[in-house]
Amino acid sequence: MALSFFLRLMLGHLIGDFVLQPYWLVLAKRTGWPGLFIHVGVVTFVTAIFAWASIPLWWLWIIILFLGHLFIDQFRTFVFTDNTKGKGLLLLILDQIAHIILIAFLAWAATGWTFADLQVLFTEAAPNQFRAIVYLGGLAILIGVIPILEIEITVAVWAAQGTQVNHTVGIDKSDRIFGSLERAIGLALILIGWWWVSPLVFIPRLALMIYQGQANANRTAVASKMATSFISTILVSWMLWFVPFPIFS
């Protein structure tokens, strides 16, 4: 019960905070309370679906999650608004650390969960339900988190090169679609043991960037995006490799 609740909260966070956060909502939550309430409401609603009736008084912890998430996110709207000099990447990392701490605290307070409970995931005794949640979380990272990480790393590299960007940079639709596909397919190929084929799936988006002229217009952006996509796929695949799942064994 304890591990299940923690995993459900994490999956709800990854999907609500990243996968279901379009660019217009990113801009809206940076401008004031209405956008913040919409964003936090989406995250809370998605998390509530996963956590529904999983523990006694689950709804109470979801309400606390809503308040805690709102408290954390308001800092990016009203306090830490300077994105120059690559600060956006640092703030993204600190923001996610704060959310993970909140989720870990809620899981501990509600069920007595501790990080030591994660050890069962790396054993054959782990229920397939837990494994499925972990794999869905890994997929959510590759689909929702990495596109944002690509942008923030690119902006940070630009800053290191002397080009400052103070506004929120949008994610190109082709980057989101092709990037998500290349990472998801690459993940599947690595998990089934076809790791030597996985680098090939990153070629189509690179070819599209070259065709669109991005490679000539901004080589830094192309290089940082592709490197982030490839390395993140390797890292997520490596982490999931230690959580055996029947369909990949």
- Domain chopping of the chain, boundaries: 2-120, 139-248
pLDDT score of 248? 54
Q: Is the pLDDT of residue 31 over 60?
A: yes
In terms of Cα–Cα distance, which of 141, 162, 147, 145 is closest to 220? 162
* Distance from C-alpha of 101 to C-alpha of 96, rounded to nearest angstrom: 9
Mean pLDDT of 23-48: 92
Highest-pLDDT range among 60-74, 187-201, 206-220: 60-74
Instruction: Determine the Cα angle at 24 with ends 23 and 25, to 5°.
Output: 90
Q: What is the pTM of this model?
A: 0.92
- Whether pLDDT at 249 is above 90: no
Asked if 158 contacts 201 with a C-beta cutoff of 8 angstroms, the reply is no
Nearest CA to 66 out of 88, 79, 47 is that of 47
Helix (H) and strand (E) counts for the chain?
A: 11, 0
pLDDT at 85 (0 to 100): 74
Mean pLDDT to the nearest integer, 70-75: 94
Please, are residues 33 and 70 in contact by the beta-carbon 8 Å criterion?
Answer: no
What rounded mean pLDDT belongs to the chain? Answer: 89
Half-sphere exposure of 41 (CA within 13 A, CB side): 8
